[in-house]
């Protein structure tokens, strides 16, 4: 996976001139492009997920929407970098390795390292990360053993 802005909405071609709504432009939602943090399971392994779990996950993910739009792109790009690391714990130094890619995505920002730290704080405040010891972070994992209604 390469770094890139997260686009989950794909513009379609306008309807042809003979269509009832000629010129209308629709879109496709690219479900495969939605990051794991944006997906809230309601069915898992053929079993309904407990309502409490779905509500908790929605509350956690909803906090991402509360990040100001001007910062949300940055937050999602940093989150994507965290996901690229592919491990439950990581260091700030590992995140700094994404500096060239993040700078390419956000060329007007000359202070990429402080921005990475700021976005890690925003992701922590959103409940997606936890701070460990200085410069160490943990990805908050979904509690899969509590998901299904079967496990009441």
Q: In angstroms, what CA-CA distances link 130 with 15, 120, 126, 134?
A: 47, 9, 10, 11
Mean pLDDT per 10-residue section of the chain, whose length is 152 residues: 59 94 92 78 92 88 76 84 92 96 91 95 88 89 53 46
The domains located in the chain, with CATH, are: 36-146 (1.10.10.10)
Contacts of residue 17, Cβ cutoff 8 Å, sequence gap at least 6: 23
Q: In angstroms, what CA-CA distances link 6 with 9, 32, 48, 151?
A: 9, 11, 29, 35
In this structure, the chain runs to a length of 152
Question: Nearest CA to 93 among 117, 123, 118, 124?
Answer: 117
Q: What is the pTM of this model?
A: 0.67
pLDDT recorded at residue 2: 47
pLDDT recorded at residue 46: 93
d(C-alpha 129, C-alpha 14), whole Å: 41
d(C-alpha 102, C-alpha 85), whole Å: 15
pLDDT recorded at residue 151: 47
């Amino acid at each position: 996976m390469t770094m890139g802005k997260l686009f989950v909405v794909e513009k379609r071609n306008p309807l042809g001139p003979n269509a009832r709504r000629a010129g209308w432009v629709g879109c496709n939602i690219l479900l495969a492009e939605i990051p794991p943090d944006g997906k809230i399971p309601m069915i898992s392994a053929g079993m309904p997920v407990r309502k409490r779990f779905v509500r908790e996950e929605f509350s956690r993910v909803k906090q991402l929407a509360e990040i100001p739009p001007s910062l949300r792109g940055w937050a999602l790009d940093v989150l994507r970098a965290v996901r690229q690391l592919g491990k439950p714990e990581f260091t700030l130094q590992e995140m700094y390795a994404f500096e060239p890619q993040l700078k390419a995505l956000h060329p007007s920002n000359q202070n990429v390292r402080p921005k990475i730290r700021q976005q890690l704080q925003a992701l922590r405040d959103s409940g997606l990360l936890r701070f460990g010891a200085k410069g160490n972070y943990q990805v908050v994992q979904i509690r899969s053993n509590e998901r299904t209604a079967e496990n009441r």
